[in-house]
Amino acid sequence: MDSLISLKSVCKKYYLAKETSGVAAWCKQLVTPQYDMFQALNSIDLDIKQGAAIGFIGPNGAGKSSLIKILCGIQKPSSGKVSVLGHDPSLREKEFLKQIGVVFGHKTSLWWDLPVKTSLDTYREIYGIEDKDYHSRLSDLSDALNLAKIFHKPVRNLSLGERVKCELTLNLLHSPKLIFLDEPTVGLDVTSKYEIRKYLNHERKTNNLSVFLTSHDLGDIESCCDDAIIIDKGKIRFDGSMRELSKTFRTNVKLTVTTQNTTQSESGLLTFRTAIQRLQDIRIINDGSSQTSYIVPKSSIGAIFSLFEEGIYDLEVSPLDFENSVVNLFKTWSGE
């Protein structure tokens, strides 16, 4: 079986009760409810192979969490067909559940008032992990994520980084084939992020773990994923390799503009902005009182430099980083 995830024309709709004002309208809504429909996913088609590491990117409300919940069986799609590891996730079959792990960065699967080890021991029984495999796996995870000193702490006493690493440990104990990670590093410090990214890459190489990761921290995507899917307003905007995605961003560069006359910097920057408005596809990244940064097509750089005399502005051209490129895409789509 080569297919890891297969989706065909998957839609997800939510129905929200309409707001009312006044007693009469409230009573009418109580008797004959009226709803507003919100479409979180719109005809999603995907075909992902085993062993893949997919970064799922999109702004808030794009449909990322809805899709992950459908893929792991927490929700059903409104329409369309879903297959994950050859199973229909909505049936929640034991054979399917034993092959996946799910980590939600903003939720916990650990028992809040009990030591971490108690939750881990319970999961060992639930998944039927043999003692030898359990202790070997737990030792590997503990060493890799630096957890040995916290297994006997109550979960409520853990820092956010410690809790998320314990969540990851819990969901990797049974050696799943596929792990879903929804914002796993939200709020974590640099060290914790590094340890989690490093271990996920280790698992991919040694155990052929497939990873489906959503994150607003694009460092997670760049560090752990070979392929990327960009979703916006419930639709797939990009589905391809990270190399392809980076290649599409190379057509733009970052232009930083500073006026040499510091006493008139604001008026000078305004003059610069007015002068380049006739050029297409130029967007402001950062608008400061003494310095402004733009996203500029490479093809427009020569025209910009020819507009201004030497000695009036300092113009600095630099590559556009991955995060700024993705943010720029979101801004472009929001205007559609």
What is d(CA 237, CA 244) in angstroms, rounded to the nearest whole number? 13
pTM: 0.78
For position 281, what pLDDT does the model report? 75
Are 152 and 125 a contacting pair, CB within 8 Å? no
**From CA 202, how far away is CA 195, in angstroms rounded?**
11
pLDDT in tens, 232-257: 888 998 899 988 887 777 778 888 88
Question: What are the two backbone dihedrals, phi and then psi, of residue 88, each rounded to the nearest 5 degrees?
Answer: -85, 110
Strands 100-104 and 178-182: parallel
Interacting residues of 300 by C-beta distance below 8 A, sequence separation 6+: 279, 280, 281, 282
Give the domain extent around 136. Answer: 3-8+43-247
pLDDT digits (tens, 9 = 90+) for 167-203: 999 999 999 999 999 888 877 888 888 888 999 999 9
As beta bridge partners, residue 315 has: 257
pLDDT in tens, 133-160: 999 999 999 998 889 889 999 999 998 8
| Residue at 115: amino acid letter | P
**178 and 241 in a common domain:** yes
Q: What single letter denotes the amino acid at residue 82?
A: V
Do residues 141 and 166 share a domain? yes
The pLDDT of 210-231, averaged and rounded, is: 88
Residue 1 pLDDT exceeds 60: no
Total of domains in the chain? 2
| Shared-domain flag, residues 136 and 193 | yes
Together in a domain, 320 and 176: no
pLDDT in tens, 113-140: 999 999 999 999 999 999 999 999 999 9
CATH classification of the domain holding 321 = 3.30.70.3400
Query: Beta-carbon neighbour count of residue 229 at 10 Å?
Result: 23
Cα–Cα distance for residue pair 115/158, rounded to 1 Å: 10
Tell me: the pLDDT tens digits for 48-106?
998 899 999 888 888 888 999 999 999 999 999 999 999 999 999 999 999 999 998 77
In a domain, 262, yes or no: yes
Question: Distance of alpha carbon 3 from its chain centroid, rounded?
Answer: 22
Domain boundary pick from 195, 228, 247: 247
Last residue of a domain, one of 216, 247, 278: 247
Residue 23 lies in a domain: no
What local confidence, expressed as pLDDT, does residue 282 receive?
79
In a shared domain, residues 67 and 212: yes
